[in-house]
């Protein structure tokens, strides 16, 4: 009799619903080139003659259960350095500004909720490669649109431009292409007021760095802020930020974001 009652209850039971552990993720796009992807702690190993990450993760970059990362396979996992390991996979990645940014936001606002970082940066790219219709732009939009199922976009962090300092025409056209990129992305993501925080260059391999920096510092668009990386210590290559500089930059970006 007892067995019959149990079978009857099981037959009429409702299926168990698994709730999403993070019903609303506060998503942040990370885009640009190598200094956004992160080269902090990357050094030239003279024995193996390859670039290697030293594996040092500062306290400001430590994992936090409330900081997630969208992988290359479009799954959410707990974020940890290097954030771009499976995105900028042809390069050696190290510490970038994403983790210190997220930790700064959570430290300043413990009730902010879950942060979802969407890494999209690729080293060595110029602004033309981020124009609508180009591979990097379309991949960025695809990843970003997929992530929208999980929450809401709070901002994009953008650090790019070093590659555009080598050619005068590239530098002169940088501002127009940058603004077009920002406008197209907002339109395609249906977020016309998406806050964008860009970084003014700390370095560049070419002679036209000041022209690109001026374009960044004077973008003059609504809901676009700029933090200046000039003066932050660089690694031995004179181009990439050190780990400590990435921590400082991430904190600067966090404070700028909280000021919106």
Contacts of 184 (CB under 8 A, 6+ apart): 131, 132, 137
Known catalytic membership, residue 20: no
By the 8 A CB rule, do 196 and 246 touch?
no
Q: Please tell me which residue in 54, 86, 109, 237 is annotated as part of the active site.
A: 237
CA distance 138 to 153: 17
Q: SS3 helix, strand, coil % of the chain, rounded to 5?
A: 35, 20, 45
Give the span between the Cα atoms of 241 and 29, in whole angstroms: 20
Token pair in block for residue 77: 């996992």
Q: d(Cα 33, Cα 162) in Å, to the nearest integer?
A: 8
Q: Nearest-CA neighbor of 78 among 89, 91, 69?
A: 69
- Catalytic site residue 237? yes
Of 150, 164, 240, 245, the active-site residue reads: 240
Q: Which of 120, 106, 15 has its CA nearest to residue 61?
A: 106
C-alpha pair distances (Å), 132 with each of 76, 80, 123, 137: 26, 30, 18, 6
Are 157 and 147 a contacting pair, CB within 8 Å?
no
Beta strands in 4-150, from DSSP E residues, in sequence order: 25-32, 42-45, 50-53, 67-70, 76-78, 115-119
22 is catalytic: no
34, 144, 150, 163: the catalytic one is 34
Q: Mind telling me the catalytic residues?
A: 34, 237, 240
């Amino acid at each position: 009799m007892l067995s019959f009652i149990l079978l009857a209850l099981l037959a009429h039971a409702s299926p168990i619903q698994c709730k999403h552990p993070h019903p609303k993720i506060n998503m942040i796009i990370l885009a640009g080139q190598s200094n956004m992807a992160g080269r902090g702690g990357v050094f030239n190993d003279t024995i193996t003659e390859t670039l290697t990450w030293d594996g040092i993760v500062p306290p400001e970059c430590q994992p936090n259960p409330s900081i997630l990362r969208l992988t290359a396979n479009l799954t959410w996992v707990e974020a940890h350095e290097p954030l771009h390991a499976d995105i900028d996979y042809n390069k050696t990645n190290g510490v970038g500004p994403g983790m210190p940014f997220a930790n700064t936001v959570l430290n300043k606002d413990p009730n902010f909720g879950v942060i979802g970082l969407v890494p999209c940066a690729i080293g060595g790219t110029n602004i033309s490669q981020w124009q609508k219709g180009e591979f990097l732009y379309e991949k960025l939009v695809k990843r970003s649109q997929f992530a929208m199922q999980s929450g809401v976009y709070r901002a994009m962090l953008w650090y790019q431009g070093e590659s555009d300092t080598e050619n005068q025409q590239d530098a002169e056209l940088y501002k127009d292409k940058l603004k077009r990129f920002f406008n197209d992305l907002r339109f395609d993501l249906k977020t016309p007021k998406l806050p964008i925080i860009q970084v003014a260059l700390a370095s560049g391999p070419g002679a036209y760095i000041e022209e690109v920096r001026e374009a960044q510092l004077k973008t003059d668009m609504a809901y676009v802020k700029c933090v200046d990386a000039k003066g932050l210590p660089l690694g031995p290559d004179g181009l990439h930020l050190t780990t400590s500089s990435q921590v400082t930059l991430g904190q600067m970006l966090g404070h700028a974001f909280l000021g919106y």
